[in-house]
Structure 1
Amino acid sequence: MTAATALDLTEGDLFGPDNLPYGVFTPTSAGDTAQPRIGVRFGDHVLDAGACARQCDSPHTELLSAPLLNPLLAAGRTTWQAVRGELRRWLTDPAYRETVARHLLPLSEVTLRMPFEVADYVDFYASEHHASNVGRIFRPDSAPLTPNWKHLPIGYHGRAGTVVASGTPVVRPRGQRRPPAEETPTYGPSARLDIEAEVGFVVGTPSRLAEPVGLGGFREHVFGVCLLNDWSARDIQAWEYVPLGPFLGKSFLTSVSPWITPVEALDAARVAPPARDFTPLPYLDDSAERGHEPGAFDIRITVTLNGEVLSEPPFASLYWTAAQQLAHMTVNGASLRTGDLYASGTVSGPEPHQLGSLLEVTAGKGPFLQDGDTVTLSAWAPGPNGARIGLGEVTGQIEPAR
């Protein structure tokens, strides 16, 4: 396929002009010392956005020539919209066809990098089905959900430094674990390594300290969406999580897709969230009567283990939306920084084929991940006029403990 014909996508391509996710790449032929470049995925090619911007004399050339997405993230929504409009014009207007064709590279000839520098990482626990399933496994003699669960989005602060791009090896973590029949803990490699199928949200525009971001601020502050696998060592987690929650059982690695889909690309995928059992407090009340747009996203996730479909979790089933998570994360006055990443928590639906972790799939009994196993998350969402929007895959292969 020539670069020119690469602009002629087949019908139904998940990465067409209604999508245009951003990433960072280097040409494989240039080796590891090459300067990373911002790329935009179009079909099975990558547009070198900075090079194309220079040739098209774009006012956003400097932003698109950066080695990471962070300067673009920080530029704000007005700029995001302008850049997206330019990219769409370059890739669809015949007047730019010859110019654009010179800056398209096949995916097979590039190495994808971590697309942005993570400032802070927060992981939520927003799926009622997942939280209930885990509650029954970890606390069989108690109510599945804690009393606060349906009144606020529960979350914890994770490790930004161990968020990595898809394809990074998943080294089995070591730590303390206590088998149920034992009185004292042991130390060694996790024997219950698991996945968590999640969706991540990337913050662009920062906020001021002590100034909460309301529900209406979601579009102004959140740049885009990615798939995320928050790998979990369930044996380490079960021993450590009382009373302060997740720590070493989660912090060893979190994998994200190399492609960040702009929030605006998912407008056609917006749907109403599930019915709530309690009216949320005003700062979380996202009802249509209060003038809020539908806050859920109809994202269909597929989890494969060693090439076989394991589950198909539905993101639209989450009890708490991304806008509510953002509002709760800042209601105490905590500030946002460019590059902040927050995740939905494991996505699970009500059906057996919709579970987002092996903990749930096996009812806590295992088997869990073995050395050499490969897990891939992929997803699509409805786009305009019946199209589909693809989210970039996130893959990891398990390596033995070191």
Structure 2
Amino acid sequence: MKPLRIGLAGLGTVGIGVIRLLRENAESITARAGRPIEVVAVTARDPKKDRGEDLSSLRWYSNAAEVARDPNIDVVVELIGGSEGAAREMVEIGLSRGLPVVTANKALVALHSETLTKLSSEHNAPLLYEAAVAGGIPAVKLTREGLAPDRLISVGGILNGTCNYILTAMRESGRDFSDILSEAQEKGYAEADPSTDIDGWDTAHKLAILAGIAFSPIVFDSLPVLGIRDVQGIDLQFADELGYRIKLLGMARSKETGKIEAWVRPCLVPEKAPIASVDDVFNAVTTLGTFSGPMTISGRGAGEGPTANAVVADLIDIARGNELPIWGKKHSGPAIRCLPLTEVESAFYIRLVVRDESGVMAAITSVLRDHKVSVHHVSQQDAQSGQAYVAIVTHPMSEQSISAATKALADLDVVHNEPLTLKIEDSLQ
């Protein structure tokens, strides 16, 4: 049997994991793929580095573009990362040659969806990216293939393990964000520069991909993104008291108008919802379909084993001849813009730091009344130095109205700091 010959760029944790998996499970992979799958050409920054695997039999190139141009490969595998530069060049060269391309690069797929879709279509070259979303969870296959007959109403979930670990540890320990972030960096769960994770961009890239499969490719710049920097320990305490958990969610929904509501933000999720119990570095993907109903799957969202497994699963599909359009269906139109948040309605959680004195609640109530905010619940916890924390849960209302109300609350003399407003995502019950 002629092997499927792989040209691979990037010999970091995942790249070496792919080579190790293909070698250690060669017999079973060949049986499932119908032919052997072998890495034959590679590139990496330091060819002399000891990576724990014998790579002497492979063809080495000085850069990723040369690997993609190798005339004796059948598939291009890009594991460099980054939305521009060598990674983008390699993927575009591979597609332009008519070769199948496999990538774990969520930023590249999310930010350049139109270009990649055009190249894939023009050259009849499939682009597979299971490893780009939620690591070892088959999120792409579930959405693109498993739920292909259904009409999805929503897709999304907990798509970043770093943020989920931080929020879980804050809740369990009572410590604040900065302490837990430092701990996550020491354990290797967070990068030295954690901004891509904690500011929500990693989640946003993954959500854009899932939304593209479930509904239509979206204009990435229209996706509202908010991270977890402003969430404090007191918010997790209030959430527990109210019967919720706080999770960084990325969610996309199809509206009856044909528009797509999509956003990334920390939310209060009912503690009985399946996704609420997904803790630590685990990810979870949740879908809702008209026929399939609600579904939630969870697992490790990163790491050598889960991500390498996802890459090789795509290679097995290629070996079998299972080829799909990038988004599971043909798209002729341009990417569409997400619905503005001002048009989104929800219940909200508002946390205030106020002076601990009489008359404070009357002032807050007056502002909420003036902005027609209907209050469902109010809770208070005393703090030090003459301050108190106040948590307010509203009935459903527009994002535009809650924004105006919180701005007015911030202007009160008795309110210290900026109010924190979190969406309450009751629909995931």
TM-score w.r.t. structure 1 length?
0.26
Instruction: Return the structure number with greater relative CO, CA threshold 8 A, min gap 6.
Output: 1
Bigger proportion of residues as helix: 2
Structure with the greater alpha carbon radius of gyration:
2
